[in-house]
């Protein structure tokens, strides 16, 4: 049994209290440990991804208790991919937070950031549904703190909405877990997968209820219409680096849907038949449309970016809801792409604040450092709207291809293509007003306070540049990436290895080792 | 039978009252509603291991035993929901003291760009 897999959770869990207790008044030490911790995470995550790349499933039994009784952490290709993505995103977000000084505008930024990373990593790695709930709460409670970092009335107000919405989501999650436990007597995902398949057709009320409730909970996290109302104001009011980190949080919802609805309520399980095709697909198409219409209708740059996040989540959900190996492959490619693109856009939005009184999409004098910022906005917008040559285009191509054979292909194709056009118009209008029309306006002395005029620091540009470089790499290496995601999705649709690893690995209380003892 | 009816109706009434309060406009009733919902879900989780009277919560030679796992789950859920409620009270209090207004929806000032277009 390898112990490496527990480190992405343990490391931030140890670093965060250390930062709070020992380095409380020393921002320099906090920064060093925070960045060091995240870089260590990248190395560990890369190692885990490399270990699982040949199809092995890593298992960690906490306290050496065997699977249905103890909590397990499971690393397969999907989990380790998401862990790696989180770690890579976190390092650039952290660099931006340091470069822009966001981490000094309130207390405990780095500690909360580490706790947030811990929750996200745990949610990706756990193999137990109740443990998934606990890690959701860990990442949420850290995100509440980060969300209202550096205060301000609007931010607190948006924070209240965000917290309330998520508390209701958590309550729903508990109801779902109670229903699952009452019906099956287990919450371990692998064990659950085996027991759900055994339920007789006349006895499915509880488990169907639970499946729908779980889908609702994950849809809240993934901001699928009509459960998206928390997202625009909270992401727009959150500090920019926090919003950029939150780009992975919506993907936690997408990950949970992929995991639970391939493993537990798989495509061949009759009780949840029709849940995706009848309910999830239309909701996803609507959220794609609403998101892109919101991009066109937004009057502020930060709102525009949040609606593009809703749109891209809609795109991911459309792809997931087809639930074929091809569509999951495309969804994974698009998840990586849209996480990086959304994070870059949130950071660029913050850069565009330099020298502007607000982020309204009206012509105002040129912002400081406009040339580089506008170039980055241009590239990130191309990626987000899915224009060639960047990865958004390739991702969209894969999604269209995956949707070609499905019965609702007409709907999928038309909504994706039309909403892409709308988002291109929205983004080009925003870019033109922000960076182009600004040239025709004379700068006035009183427009912005003195300290706002300073251009973004070099480190900020490095952070955003890094994200954009990753997007370019994701495009250039699309072939190998696609083949990797193909193997990932094949592993998801053939869960035998996952199940046997979790259930049959011996530990304390395990039935397999009991039998061995009896033989001796 | 009486026990089941009592527990089920308690969960139902708590959930209904909680849902009603959650849909209110101000933070105080909404937080009260969320508290009621968490009480409801705690009782629900507790009941998910089947209701049994005077049975040991441990697997012994006795044929009847109470399932200990939901009790552990409830304990976790209680601690988490208690902490979360404390957090939301603090944030809501901050928003109220800062804005002199405890409505849950977005303030008008936030939408000033769109408000200008209205008559």
Q: What is the pLDDT of residue B109?
A: 54
**Alpha-carbon distance A41 to nearest alpha carbon in chain B (angstroms):** 27
Q: What is the pLDDT of residue A24?
A: 85
Distance CA A16, CA A134 (A): 18
Beta bridge partners of B103: B26
What pLDDT digit, counting tens, does each position of A159-194 carry? Answer: 888 999 999 999 999 999 999 998 888 899 999 988
Alpha helices in B26-105 (DSSP H): 27-47, 68-99
Cα atoms in the 13 Å half-sphere on the side-chain side of A374: 17
pLDDT value at A446 more than 60: no
Distance CA A144, CA A166 (A): 10
Mean pLDDT of A87-115: 92
Q: What is the pLDDT of residue B115?
A: 40
Distance CA A234, CA A156 (A): 9
What tokens appear for B54 in the block? 């005077």
Mean pLDDT of A435-441: 76
Q: What is the pLDDT of residue A91?
A: 95
CA-based nearest residue to A224, from A256, A194, A262: A256
Cβ–Cβ below 8 Å for B107 and A154: yes
Mutation target among B59, B94, B108 for the A interface, most CBs of A within 10 A:
B94
Q: How far apart are the first and last CA of chain A?
A: 23
Mean pLDDT of A294-307: 91
What pLDDT digit, counting tens, does each position of B56-92 carry? Answer: 777 667 677 788 888 889 999 999 999 999 999 998 8
pLDDT value at A513 more than 50: no
Alpha-carbon Rg for chain B, nearest whole angstrom, is 21
Predicted-complex ipTM score? 0.89
What tokens appear for B32 in the block? 């009260």
Distance CA A353, CA A460 (A): 13
What pLDDT digit, counting tens, does each position of A191-209 carry? Answer: 998 888 888 777 788 888 8
Distance CA A338, CA A243 (A): 14
Mean pLDDT of A414-434: 92
How many CB atoms lie under 10 A from the CB of residue A520? 4
- Contact yes or no for B12/B81 (Cβ under 8 A): no
Q: Which H helix or E strand runs over A431?
A: helix A409-431
Q: Which H helix or E strand runs over A59?
A: strand A58-61
What tokens appear for A307 in the block? 């609606």
Q: What is the pLDDT of residue A336?
A: 94
Q: What is the mean pLDDT of chain A?
A: 88
pLDDT band at A45 (very low <50, low <70, confident <90, very high): very high
Task: Find the CB nearest B84 among A167, A233, A360.
Answer: A167
The pTM score is 0.91
3-state class (DSSP) for residue B105: coil
- Contact yes or no for A190/A498 (Cβ under 8 A): yes
CA-based nearest residue to A94, from A112, A121, A67: A112
pLDDT band at B118 (very low <50, low <70, confident <90, very high): very low
Beta bridge partners of A188: A128
CA-based nearest residue to A68, from A184, A170, A156: A184
- Contact yes or no for A66/A513 (Cβ under 8 A): yes
Over pLDDT 90: what percentage of chain A? 54
Using a CB-CB cut-off of 8 Å, the residues of chain A touching B88 are 144, 160, 163-164, 167
What pLDDT digit, counting tens, does each position of A309-345 carry? Answer: 999 999 999 999 988 899 999 999 999 999 999 999 9
What pLDDT digit, counting tens, does each position of A392-405 carry? Answer: 999 999 999 998 88
**Which residue does chain B place closest to A358, by CA atoms?**
B113
How many CB atoms lie under 10 A from the CB of residue A451? 6
**Which residue does chain A place closest to B48, by CA atoms?**
A182
Task: Find the CB nearest B113 among A134, A233, A299.
Answer: A299
Indicate the range of A195-209, A261-275, A423-437, A486-500 predicted with least confidence. Answer: A261-275
Q: Which H helix or E strand runs over A72?
A: strand A72-75
What pLDDT digit, counting tens, does each position of A460-506 carry? Answer: 899 999 999 999 999 999 999 999 999 999 999 988 888 888 888 88
Q: Dihedral through CA A140, CA A142, CA A144, CA A150, nearest 10? A: -160
Residue where the block lists tokens 């490095």: A462
Distance CA A424, CA A447 (A): 30
Over pLDDT 70: what percentage of chain A? 94
Chain A and chain B share a number of CB contacts under 8 A equal to: 103
Cβ–Cβ below 8 Å for A174 and B27: no
Mean pLDDT of A220-229: 89
Q: What is the pLDDT of residue A241?
A: 92
Q: What is the pLDDT of residue A339?
A: 94
CA-based nearest residue to A323, from A395, A248, A269: A269
Using a CB-CB cut-off of 8 Å, the residues of chain A touching B109 are 154
Q: What is the pLDDT of residue A217?
A: 93
Q: What is the pLDDT of residue A368?
A: 67
B53 by Cβ neighbours in 10 Å (0-12 / 13-18 / 19+) ranks as exposed
**Alpha-carbon distance B45 to nearest alpha carbon in chain A (angstroms):** 5
Mean pLDDT of A260-273: 80
Beta bridge partners of A74: A59
- Contact yes or no for A140/B93 (Cβ under 8 A): no
Could you tell me the CA-to-CA distances from A426 to A291, A344, A432, B112 in Å, in that order?
11, 17, 10, 20
**Which residue does chain B place closest to A182, by CA atoms?**
B48
**Alpha-carbon distance A138 to nearest alpha carbon in chain B (angstroms):** 9
Distance CA A261, CA A189 (A): 11
DSSP-derived letter for residue B1 is -
């Amino acid at each position: 049994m390898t112990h490496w897999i527990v480190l992405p959770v343990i490391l931030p869990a140890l670093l965060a209290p250390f930062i709070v207790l020992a380095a409380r008044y020393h921002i320099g030490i906090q920064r060093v440990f925070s960045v060091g911790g995240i870089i260590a995470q990248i190395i560990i995550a890369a190692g885990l991804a490399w270990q699982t790349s040949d199809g092995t499933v890593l298992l960690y039994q906490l306290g050496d208790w065997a699977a249905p009784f103890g909590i397990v952490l499971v690393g397969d290709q999907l989990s380790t991919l998401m862990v790696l993505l989180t770690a890579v995103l976190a390092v650039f977000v952290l660099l931006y937070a340091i470069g822009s000084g966001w981490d000094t505008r309130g207390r405990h930024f780095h500690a909360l950031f580490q706790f947030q990373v811990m929750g996200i990593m745990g949610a990706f790695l756990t193999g137990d549904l109740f443990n998934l709930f606990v890690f959701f709460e860990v990442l949420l409670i850290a995100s509440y703190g980060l969300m209202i970092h550096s205060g301000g009335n609007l931010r607190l107000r948006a924070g209240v909405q965000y917290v309330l919405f998520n508390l209701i989501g958590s309550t729903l999650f508990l109801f779902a877990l109670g229903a699952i436990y009452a019906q099956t007597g287990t919450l371990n995902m692998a064990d659950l997968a085996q027991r759900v398949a055994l339920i007789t057709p006349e006895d499915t009320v509880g488990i169907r209820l639970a499946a729908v409730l779980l889908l609702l909970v994950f849809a809240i996290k993934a901001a699928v219409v009509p459960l998206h109302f928390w997202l625009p104001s909270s992401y727009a009011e959150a500090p920019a680096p926090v919003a950029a980190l939150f780009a992975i949080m919506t993907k936690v919802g997408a990950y949970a849907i992929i995991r639970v609805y391939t493993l537990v309520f798989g495509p061949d399980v009759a009780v949840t038949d029709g849940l995706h095709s009848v309910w999830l697909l239309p909701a996803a198409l609507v959220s794609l449309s609403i998101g892109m219409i919101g991009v066109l209708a937004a009057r502020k740059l930060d709102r525009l970016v949040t609606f593009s996040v809703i749109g891209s989540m809609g795109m991911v959900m459309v792809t997931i809801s087809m639930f074929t190996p091809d569509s999951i492959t495309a969804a994974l490619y698009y998840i990586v792409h849209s996480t990086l693109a959304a994070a870059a856009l949130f950071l660029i939005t913050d850069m565009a604040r330099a020298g502007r009184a607000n982020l309204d999409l009206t012509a105002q004098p040129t912002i400081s450092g406009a040339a580089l910022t506008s170039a980055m906005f241009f590239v990130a917008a191309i990626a987000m709207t899915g224009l060639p040559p960047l990865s958004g285009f390739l991702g969209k191509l894969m999604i269209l291809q995956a949707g070609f054979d499905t019965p609702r292909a007409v709907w999928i194709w038309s909504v994706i293509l039309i909403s892409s056009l709308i988002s291109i118009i929205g983004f080009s209008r925003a870019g033109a007003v922000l960076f182009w029309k600004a040239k025709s306006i004379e700068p006035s002395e009183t427009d912005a306070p003195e300290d706002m005029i300073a251009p973004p620091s070099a480190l900020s540009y490095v952070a955003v540049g890094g994200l954009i470089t990753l997007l370019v790499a994701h495009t250039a290496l699309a072939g190998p990436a696609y083949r990797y995601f193909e193997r990932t999705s094949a592993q998801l649709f053939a869960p035998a290895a996952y199940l046997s690893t979790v259930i049959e690995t011996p530990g304390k209380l395990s039935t397999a080792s009991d039998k061995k003892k009896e033989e001796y | 039978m009486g026990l089941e009816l009592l527990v089920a109706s308690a969960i139902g009434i708590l959930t209904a009252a909680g849902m009603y309060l959650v849909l209110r406009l101000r933070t105080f009733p909404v937080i009260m509603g969320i508290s009621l919902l968490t009480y409801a879900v705690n009782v629900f989780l507790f009941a998910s291991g089947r209701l049994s009277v005077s049975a040991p919560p441990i697997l012994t030679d006795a044929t009847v035993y109470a399932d200990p796992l939901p009790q552990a789950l409830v304990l976790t859920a209680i601690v988490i929901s208690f902490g979360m409620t404390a957090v939301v009270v603090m944030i809501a209090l901050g928003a109220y003291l800062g804005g002199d207004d405890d409505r849950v929806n977005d303030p008008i000032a936030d939408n000033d760009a769109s408000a200008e277009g209205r008559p």
